[in-house]
Structure 1
Amino acid sequence: MTSKLFSFSKKESRLYMSFMYVTFISLFIGGLMGLLQTFVRSGKYTLPFGIDYYTILTVHGVILGLVLTTFFIIGFQFSLLGKTVGISDKQIMVGWISFWVMLIGTVMASITILVGQASVLYTFYAPLRAHPAFYIGLALVIVGSWIAAFVNFRQLYVWKKAHKGEKSPLLAFMVTINMIMWVIASLGVAVSVLVLFIPWSLGYAETINVLLSRTLFWYFGHPLVYFWLLPAYMAWYAIIPKFVGGKIFSDSLARLAFILLLMFSIPVGFHHQLTEPGIDPTWKFIQVVLTFMVVIPSLMTAFSIFGSFEAAGRRKGFTSLFGWIKNLPWKDVRFLAPFIGMVAFIPGGAGGIINASHQMNALVHNTIWITGHFHLTAATTVILTFFGITYWLVPHLTSRRLTPKLNKLGLIQTWIWTIGMVIMSGSMHIQGLLGGPRRSSFSEYAGGEQVATWINYQIAQAVGGTILFVGIILMVYIFIQLSFFAPKGVEEYPIAEEEPDAEKTPKFLENWYLWIGITIALILFAYTIPMIDIMKHSPPGSPPFDWPIGK
């Protein structure tokens, strides 16, 4: 059964909403930069005022991939723990420290990008070099997120101390797993930034070990995807069933799936480096195998979620094989947006298998196929689920209501987003198979023989990007309405109950020492020898190389 749920104080709501404000400001800025990118790539538009293409590309990637996601996730997870295990005034105060440290870091990094001193893209690969303030800003964002993580750990610890022998609430368990993964994974990028990039950008180090920096980034970069995805899983497992009149299919299965995602999401970064020399192919193969292991918890998740949907339909009397599908709340945007995100994850996951497969990766690596995949998973599966959460979380925090009119606008926004993304992501996938490069502006290959083949797909991307930006404007409008203007009222914080006849959850699933220990062992196994090889045998470090190329 669901544990007692806590009510939010005004102090809590202000903290959680602060994260949401930054999220939706980031959505607008990052979305505008994405729209400009698609225009430039279409060959029909030139950026005004001498704005560099790679500046807007960097803003788009950093603001949406790092800032929007991290602020939304931390605010959402704070609310989950506040609702299920409670939060003290002291913890709220530390939560504010987390917010301000992250915000200061975000502003520092953003200013350096906007003034043209950090056009190094979302991955900030060496030997491209940014202004030191960019790297210091990123470090502050990570430190702020660690502060939030330790607040979360403290919240669950205090609750467990007061409820000895009881299993922790499912959502609190899930948040803890995600933040453990985040802290372990972000150690890689923190070391990279603090030890390699900052001294190099300040001039204290003349060179930088490029392969080591890239390896540390992808040690972090792949679990970053799961840091985005797991909050969506939390909603799918424990919140969406509430909207269909169902219950959590299996508490044990949900916990096991999250444990497996923790263990197999971190030691797999080499599958992003399959084409790079300097890494032994044996270790690449081992990490590819570990990458494919995440298919298991993903299939467990699909089984559990659709099991909840079907059980709810059967309980309401639908006996035909697929009759329960008709009963799903298709006109409730809180369900529809995440559901479309779930469906998008099917082709998204298939594309991920291709990306992680050595021979097939050779075909699509560094093509715009990868960008299309990224938009199908992060920008469709994750973002649509985040939008679905917004429709009930924001009015709950602001004591307002999701009115029928706003719900209808949300349905329109969801379909606009879906249509725009199908056009844009689909054309990216096709152009990628035809060899279209990623990260490049149209002007860089405007004279190539393949432009005539690519140009129609690039125009399609501009059309899709325009539709998506309309969806962004509508989503920001809905957010403003839910935050400040919607009628006062009460919006439920929807947490589903467990099936009453479900099997008792085994206690070993909450053995943190065991699961963290196995995760660390897998990381040491997958990275220790390759990292020693990289540090011993890498060529001499690369000198500073200021972006952009050729200028």
Structure 2
Amino acid sequence: MGLAKAETTEKQEIGAYPIADKSKKLYMSFMYVTFGSLLIGGLMGLLQTLVRSGKITLPWGIGYYQILTVHGVILALVMTTFFIIGFQFTLMEKSVGMSDKQRKLGWLSFWVMLIGTIIAATIVLLGKASVLYTFYAPLKGHPLFYIGLALVIIGSWIAAFVNWHQVAVWKKKHPGEKTPLPAFMVTINMIMWFIASLGVAVAVLVQFIPWSLGYASTINVLLSRTLFWYFGHPLVYFWLLPAYMTWYVIIPKIIGGKIFSDALARMSFVLLLFFSIPVGFHHQLTEPGIHPTWKFIQVALTMMVVIPTLMTAFSMFATFEITGRKKGATGMFGWLKKLPWKDVRFLAPFIGMVGFIPGGAGGIINASHQLNTVVHNTIWVTGHFHLTVAFVVILTFFGVTYWLVPHLTGRKLTPQLNKLGIIQSIVWSTGMLIMSTSMHIQGLKGGPRRSEFSEYGGTAQAQEWIGYQLAQAVGGTILFIAILLMIYIFVKMAFFAPKGETAYPLAQEEPDADPTPAWFDNWKMWVGITVALILFAYSIPVFDLLQNSPPGSPPFAWPIGNQ
């Protein structure tokens, strides 16, 4: 009797709520957009590498920067955001439940984001906003491009408020209990996303839209870039934290283990919240107008994210070793043999974890004062983004897809699809390593970022770079093959796999782990510290930008006729 009661309590602690059939349709809608975006964005990436290698010329007047913008916006902003919000909704419903009212707001979030995506994507495809996913001023796009981006952000805010309301309702029903770990993680990520996206929302609504509509004659370029990178760096962590969620609460269940430490997982997420936002200046180290002192301060804050990253690595490998030894492993590395290497749900995220080692090292280089000057604005940076986001994060998302989609569609991951998924993971990894490695090396040799072959094809350096460009084309081709494989697997799991039950693998905490302190649920404290760090890192330098803007670059948008 006592054991049964203990098991019930433990299940309620991790939030073993069933996902309603009505919710499954909502979550699959996010997945459909995700994989549609993967196909379109992947095709644009393939064309990009072929153009950069000088092997093809785009037909019908299509511009290189047009496909470059589609590739960046569709994959870095649309695909990731739709997958993350859909996945996080499932974590929330499993952990704290979802009401009909919350579900309706979830649909509102989806449709607002989708409408914004269609508007922005259409404008880019028409060649009226070839401004890249960073949309740096003085590049100017059609007003509808910025309006579409604003709608995507607003839709994501609706999802954030739904998530926070879910936690609030659960807390009222469970006074004195700690927020379930998955819900805690989602809450942290959406707090970070909301605070960070305020920066790009201000830039789009106050600067870019009036400027693009003709209501303003000019724009404060440095302020717009500062507002973008206030958002742009935590955007990377918005991508990364759902991968961390998978590593902490999903992978232990898949390998037959338990969460190493609930408290350590929460602390790593809190630290990532603190040190992900007030660090945007490390993307602007070569820009004038920002005092070197503030650049140094933000570089130091950037380096602090190494701490929660190492905490996560320690926690994961502790989980692997403990689980392996419980299964009879002996010797220093015997536990490695006990891991389920033939299970794609584990293999894909694990490869992503390993890829984060060189990815993190490259991030330290990018954020360093002196080393950044070597790689700044070279294709090294592009290689870094592909290694971290397209390799680490997307492989983990693929690993989630192999169990999430069958769970939502009432189907099974068959042995054949599992084997094909392993092949897909290997093909994806091979293509990404070839492409990313060549980008890193070419960047060290001064290869420019974003430029197409025709801009430097006749130079002496082009002959030195051509081998790396060809390697990128080879890697891009392999990656597109992996994308086609993934789309095929997704369609099979969504519509054609045998009917059956697929579990949602949420892990439980080690029974002898130390209890989690109650103060982890003090949201006012975490948000307050985050805001204080942001004000410390940004208030004085931004005030200085506003007070000392160069001629013709006023604070926000300068009305025509009043210069």
Separation (CA, whole Å) in 2 of partners of 1:422 and 1:541:
45
Deviations 1:109-140 (A, max 9, x none): 00110001000001000000000000000000
- What one-letter code is carried by the residue in structure 2 that aligns with 1:512? W
Asked whether the equivalents of residues 401 and 491 of structure 1 are also in contact (C-alpha less than 8 Å), the reply is: yes
Q: Where does residue 163 of structure 2 map in the other structure?
A: 152
What secondary structure, in the 3-state scheme, does the structure 2 residue paired with 1:450 have?
helix
Cα shift at 1:316? 1.1
Separation (CA, whole Å) in 1 of partners of 2:373 and 2:450:
17
Separation (CA, whole Å) in 2 of partners of 1:538 and 1:331:
58
Q: Where does residue 380 of structure 2 map in the other structure?
A: 369
- What one-letter code is carried by the residue in structure 2 that aligns with 1:194? L
What secondary structure, in the 3-state scheme, does the structure 2 residue paired with 1:207 have?
strand
Cα shift at 1:9? 1.6
Q: Equivalent of 1:331, from 328, 338, 342? A: 342
Q: Equivalent of 1:196, from 203, 207, 232? A: 207
Q: Equivalent of 2:114, from 103, 109, 125? A: 103
Deviations 1:161-219 (A, max 9, x none): 00000111100000000000000000000000000000000000101000000000000
Separation (CA, whole Å) in 2 of partners of 1:185 and 1:541:
28
Q: Where does residue 30 of structure 2 map in the other structure?
A: 19
Asked whether the equivalents of residues 400 and 488 of structure 1 are also in contact (C-alpha less than 8 Å), the reply is: yes
1:471 maps onto 2:471 in alignment: no
User: 5 Å matches for 1:250-399?
Assistant: 250-399=261-410
Q: Where does residue 456 of structure 1 map in the other structure?
A: 467
Separation (CA, whole Å) in 2 of partners of 1:84 and 1:94:
18
User: 5 Å matches for 1:173-184?
Assistant: 173-184=184-195
1:432 maps onto 2:413 in alignment: no
Q: Where does residue 548 of structure 1 map in the other structure?
A: none
TM-score by length of 2: 0.96
Separation (CA, whole Å) in 1 of partners of 2:155 and 2:407:
25
Flag the 1:354–1:2 CA change in 2: closer, same or farther, 3 A: farther
Q: Where does residue 497 of structure 1 map in the other structure?
A: 508
Q: Where does residue 549 of structure 1 map in the other structure?
A: none
Separation (CA, whole Å) in 1 of partners of 2:81 and 2:449:
24
User: 5 Å matches for 1:32-47?
Assistant: 32-47=43-58
Asked whether the equivalents of residues 106 and 138 of structure 1 are also in contact (C-alpha less than 8 Å), the reply is: yes
Deviations 1:466-519 (A, max 9, x none): 000000000000000000000000000000110000100001111101111000
Cα shift at 1:447? 1.2
Separation (CA, whole Å) in 2 of partners of 1:244 and 1:135:
44
Deviations 1:333-352 (A, max 9, x none): 00000000000000000000
Asked whether the equivalents of residues 241 and 308 of structure 1 are also in contact (C-alpha less than 8 Å), the reply is: yes
Separation (CA, whole Å) in 2 of partners of 1:122 and 1:163:
43
Flag the 1:57–1:542 CA change in 2: closer, same or farther, 3 A: farther
- What one-letter code is carried by the residue in structure 2 that aligns with 1:267? P
What secondary structure, in the 3-state scheme, does the structure 2 residue paired with 1:49 have?
coil
1:222 maps onto 2:233 in alignment: yes
Cα shift at 1:245? 1.1
What secondary structure, in the 3-state scheme, does the structure 1 residue paired with 2:287 have?
coil
- What one-letter code is carried by the residue in structure 1 that aligns with 2:419? K
Identity %: 74
Deviations 1:381-416 (A, max 9, x none): 000000000000000000000000000000000000
1:487 maps onto 2:498 in alignment: yes
Q: Where does residue 538 of structure 1 map in the other structure?
A: 549
Q: Where does residue 83 of structure 1 map in the other structure?
A: 94
Separation (CA, whole Å) in 2 of partners of 1:2 and 1:502:
16
Asked whether the equivalents of residues 338 and 388 of structure 1 are also in contact (C-alpha less than 8 Å), the reply is: yes
- What one-letter code is carried by the residue in structure 2 that aligns with 1:100? W
Q: Which runs of 5+ in 2 are unaligned?
A: 1-9, 555-563
What is the alpha-carbon root mean square deviation over aligned residues?
Answer: 0.8
Cα shift at 1:307? 0.4
Asked whether the equivalents of residues 210 and 541 of structure 1 are also in contact (C-alpha less than 8 Å), the reply is: no
Cα shift at 1:6? 1.1
- What one-letter code is carried by the residue in structure 2 that aligns with 1:49? W
User: 5 Å matches for 1:134-173?
Assistant: 134-173=145-184
- What one-letter code is carried by the residue in structure 1 that aligns with 2:180? P
Q: Where does residue 133 of structure 1 map in the other structure?
A: 144
Separation (CA, whole Å) in 2 of partners of 1:115 and 1:236:
40
Asked whether the equivalents of residues 209 and 540 of structure 1 are also in contact (C-alpha less than 8 Å), the reply is: no
- What one-letter code is carried by the residue in structure 2 that aligns with 1:93? K
Q: Where does residue 63 of structure 1 map in the other structure?
A: 74
Cα shift at 1:540? 2.7
What secondary structure, in the 3-state scheme, does the structure 2 residue paired with 1:329 have?
coil
Separation (CA, whole Å) in 2 of partners of 1:103 and 1:223:
22
What secondary structure, in the 3-state scheme, does the structure 1 residue paired with 2:60 have?
helix
Asked whether the equivalents of residues 2 and 169 of structure 1 are also in contact (C-alpha less than 8 Å), the reply is: no
- What one-letter code is carried by the residue in structure 2 that aligns with 1:500? P
Deviations 1:257-307 (A, max 9, x none): 000000000000000000000000000000000000000000000000110
Separation (CA, whole Å) in 2 of partners of 1:364 and 1:208:
28
What secondary structure, in the 3-state scheme, does the structure 1 residue paired with 2:218 have?
coil
- What one-letter code is carried by the residue in structure 2 that aligns with 1:388? G
Separation (CA, whole Å) in 1 of partners of 2:468 and 2:114:
37
4+ runs deviating over 6 angstroms? none
Q: Where does residue 442 of structure 1 map in the other structure?
A: 453
Separation (CA, whole Å) in 2 of partners of 1:312 and 1:374:
33
- What one-letter code is carried by the residue in structure 1 that aligns with 2:406? P
What secondary structure, in the 3-state scheme, does the structure 2 residue paired with 1:128 have?
coil
What secondary structure, in the 3-state scheme, does the structure 2 residue paired with 1:206 have?
strand
Separation (CA, whole Å) in 2 of partners of 1:168 and 1:319:
37
Cα shift at 1:542? 5.6
Q: Which runs of 5+ in 1 are unaligned?
A: 544-551
- What one-letter code is carried by the residue in structure 1 that aligns with 2:381? I
Deviations 1:27-67 (A, max 9, x none): 00000000000000011111111110000000000000000
